[in-house]
Amino acid sequence: MTGVRVIVDDREVIEGLRRLRARVGDLLRAHDPRFDAQRAPDGTSWVPLNPRYAARKAKRRPRAGILELDGHLRRLA
């Protein structure tokens, strides 16, 4: 009976993932203060909510920021 043996050298992939993980940490450290200040990466303020939507949102979550409602977007970062 014949067989096939496959050897995978994943050292480069593992190293790439390690570097990516380090960069994600840097991104989060830069992202969180901007999110709290409701500012874009270029420093501009986020566009205010449409007044009708803002009124509906205020009933559901009175203190939620512009890009915050259930916290999903913040947790993605």
Query: What's the distance, CA 43 to chain centroid?
Result: 17
- Residue 71: band (very low, low, confident or very high) from pLDDT cuts 50, 70, 90: confident
Measure the CA–CA gap between 47 and 54, rounded to whole angstroms.
Answer: 12
Residue 66 gets which letter from DSSP?
A: T
Provide the token pair at 46: 């986020």
Query: 49 with 66: CB under 8 angstroms?
Result: yes
Sequence spans of domains, the chain = 11-76
Query: Number of C-alpha atoms within 13 angstroms, CB side, residue 54?
Result: 7
pLDDT above 90 coverage of the chain, percent? 53
pTM beyond 0.75: no
